[in-house]
């Protein structure tokens, strides 16, 4: 069977989704899971974009060993040099260079002629080859480019040393027939194309990203690019879990191997959703919570007689076998550690002890603790970093009645350890909490988006709060969990503030009442 490579861009293109702000620890955790997932290449960020991105890419390149780590660069020497400094410690240093080739992009964005674009592309690849053994070159907006110009520029960048050619449907404009035809045309007309990888990168603006990616595979693509859960700019990228499962379920048609560990799909999807705060729609293919639900009586009858009547994918295939009671309040530290290891976590003794303490607190108040609960507790400890300036919630109290004005009193420790308490009113309990916390933290806050969801089932389920806001003019996302959604809300608010302070590398001053 033919083998294709899986290029994951969750940490680069995926993080460009509106409202997603990952810190370095979270990026490293996702990268480790993508390695378990079996991604051939992990695009870990855009090193020249910011010091934070540079640090994350460098640390991921030094951590991941079984996947190739790459970073994005514009077709300028400074970007490529910065990428080399971040990626040179990787097992196989790889850089991803892009340059637009469509008439509309060349004229209105680059303000260059086709000849100037060709010259820039060749020069950037030649420069990258001075450092990188693996150079991927992308023709941005390839699906709206002139086919003859594509052939010409691809031929020249291959001569310059490119090892992978990527043909993106950057704005999700192509149909499967058009996108497949482009790959066929390039494969048949570019001298030397057989010596490089040919990659597909599809966006989902018209809902055709999966179909377009499969069309590219049918017409010669040897690498596909996408993200977990299909996150990404605008309507997102192709969802890699959909491609992996489609190629597996229909392997008699495609005869393709990907090397993806299908049993890691559920965990990878869950981790990305939790850390990005990006919810998975219930009817999302493969990983949505309704993907294996059958409500119709006819469907249920068929399932009881033979599951194959209505279920082409099993939960077990993607590692989604249901687990009821996992651990209880009488479970000991050894059983807790064993479960953590089986779930794929690698925690230091200190972090494991902290997670165990949180588990015991939860077990005292929650009747049943399931794997989803443990996943949240263990993940939070795994990505927790020491020695950062933080506001830590001490308590929050809300007075609410339909005939009264909602009032919240919050107290929190600041970075210098001082405990500050303040109160405020609001149109509702949540706004009152926000207003009281804004009087505690040093900075101007504007809430952009807020939501709470349950983790697991039942009236005692954990509640997760996700807040997207601006803090001193910078957009940041915070999240946290608690059994009480108002407590989770207050914690998520402070988590967002803390993340922005860490990002800036500033110590926060405490505002006294």
| pLDDT for residue 159 is more than 70 | yes
421 within 8 A of 409, measured Cβ to Cβ: yes
Q: What is the pLDDT of residue 148?
A: 98
Nearest to 375 by CA among 350, 355, 405, 348: 355
Confidence of residue 507 (pLDDT cuts 50, 70, 90): very low
Between vectors from CA 69 to CA 66 and to CA 71, what angle results, nearest 5°?
A: 175
- Work out the mean pLDDT of the chain and round it to a whole number: 91
- Start-to-end CA span in the chain (Å): 69
Confidence of residue 345 (pLDDT cuts 50, 70, 90): confident
Average pLDDT over residues 59-66: 97
Q: What is the pLDDT of residue 389?
A: 59
Q: What is the pLDDT of residue 510?
A: 39
Average pLDDT over residues 287-306: 64
Q: What is the pLDDT of residue 294?
A: 52
Q: Using CA atoms, how far apart are residues 138 and 478, in angstroms rounded to an integer?
A: 34
Nearest to 332 by CA among 300, 359, 368: 359
Q: Using CA atoms, how far apart are residues 27 and 20, in angstroms rounded to an integer?
A: 12
Q: What is the pLDDT of residue 361?
A: 86
Q: Using CA atoms, how far apart are residues 203 and 9, in angstroms rounded to an integer?
A: 12
Q: What is the pLDDT of residue 402?
A: 87
Q: What is the pLDDT of residue 366?
A: 79
Gyration radius from the chain CA atoms: 25
Q: What is the pLDDT of residue 458?
A: 80
High-pLDDT (> 70) share of the chain, %: 93
Q: Say which range, 245-259, 262-276, 302-316, has the weakest mean pLDDT.
A: 302-316
Average pLDDT over residues 380-396: 80
Ramachandran quadrant class, 337 (left: phi over 0; alpha: psi -120 to 50; beta: rest)? alpha
Of residues 385 and 69, more confidence is placed in: 69
Annotated binding site: 13, 201, 203, 237
Q: Using CA atoms, how far apart are residues 54 and 77, in angstroms rounded to an integer?
A: 16
What are the pLDDT digits (tens) for 298-338?
444 554 566 667 578 888 999 986 555 567 777 888 888 88
Q: Is the dihedral of CA 441, 447, 448, 452 positive or negative?
A: positive
Average pLDDT over residues 151-158: 98
Q: What is the pLDDT of residue 244?
A: 98
Q: Is the dihedral of CA 49, 52, 56, 59 positive or negative?
A: positive
What are the pLDDT digits (tens) for 173-226?
999 999 999 999 999 999 999 999 999 999 999 999 999 999 999 999 999 999
Nearest to 171 by CA among 140, 194, 192: 140
pTM of model > 0.75: yes
Annotated binding site for Mn(2+): 13, 201, 203, 237
3-class secondary-structure state, position 496? helix
């Amino acid at each position: 069977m033919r083998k294709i490579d899986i290029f994951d861009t969750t940490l680069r293109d995926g993080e460009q989704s509106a409202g997603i702000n990952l810190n370095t620890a979270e990026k490293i955790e996702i990268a480790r899971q993508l390695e378990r997932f079996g991604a051939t290449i992990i695009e870990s960020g855009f090193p020249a974009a910011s010091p934070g991105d540079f640090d994350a890419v460098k640390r991921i390149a030094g951590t991941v060993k079984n996947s190739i780590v790459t970073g994005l660069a514009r077709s300028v020497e400074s970007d490529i040099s910065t990428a080399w400094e971040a990626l040179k410690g990787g097992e196989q240093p790889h850089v991803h260079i892009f340059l637009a080739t469509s008439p509309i992009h060349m004229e209105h964005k680059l303000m260059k002629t086709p000849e100037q674009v060709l010259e820039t592309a060749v020069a950037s690849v030649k420069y990258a080859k001075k450092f990188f053994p693996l150079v991927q070159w992308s023709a941005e907006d390839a699906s709206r480019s002139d086919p003859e110009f594509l052939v010409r520029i691809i031929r020249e960048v291959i001569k310059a040393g490119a090892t992978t050619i990527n043909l993106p449907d950057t704005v999700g404009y192509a149909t499967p027939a058009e996108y497949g035809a482009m790959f066929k045309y390039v494969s048949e007309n570019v001298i030397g194309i057989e010596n490089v990888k040919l990659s597909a990168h599809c966006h989902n603006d018209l809902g055709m990203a999966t179909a377009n990616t499969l069309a590219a595979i049918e017409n010669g693509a040897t690498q596909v690019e996408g993200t977990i859960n299909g996150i990404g700019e605008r309507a997102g990228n192709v969802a890699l879990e959909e491609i992996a499962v489609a190629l597996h379920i229909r392997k008699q048609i495609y005869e393709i191997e990907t090397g993806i560990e299908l049993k890691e799909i559920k965990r990878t999807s869950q981790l990305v959703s939790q850390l990005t705060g990006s919810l998975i729609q219930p009817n999302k293919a493969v990983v949505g919570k309704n993907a294996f639900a059958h409500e119709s009586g006819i469907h249920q009858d068929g399932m009881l007689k033979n599951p194959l009547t209505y279920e082409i994918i099993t939960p077990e295939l993607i590692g989604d076998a249901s687990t009821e009671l996992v651990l209880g309040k009488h479970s000991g530290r050894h059983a807790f550690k064993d479960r953590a290891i089986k779930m794929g976590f690698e925690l230091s003794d200190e972090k494991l002890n902290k997670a165990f303490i949180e588990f015991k607190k939860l077990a005292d108040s929650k009747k049943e603790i399931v794997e989803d609960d443990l996943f949240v507790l263990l993940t939070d400890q795994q990505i927790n970093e020491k020695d950062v300036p933080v506001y830590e919630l001490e308590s929050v109290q809300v007075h609410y009645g339909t005939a009264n004005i909602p009032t919240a009193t919050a107290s929190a420790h600041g970075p210098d350890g001082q405990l500050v308490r303040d109160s405020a009113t609001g149109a509702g309990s949540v706004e009152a909490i926000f207003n009281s916390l804004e009087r505690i933290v040093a900075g101007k806050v504007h809430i952009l988006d807020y939501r709470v969801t349950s983790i697991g089932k039942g009236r005692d389920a954990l509640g997760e709060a996700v807040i997207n806001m601006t803090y001193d003019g910078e957009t940041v996302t915070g999240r946290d969990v608690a059994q009480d959604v108002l407590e989770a809300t207050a914690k998520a608010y402070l988590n967002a503030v803390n993340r922005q302070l860490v990002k800036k590398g500033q110590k926060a001053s405490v505002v006294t009442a």
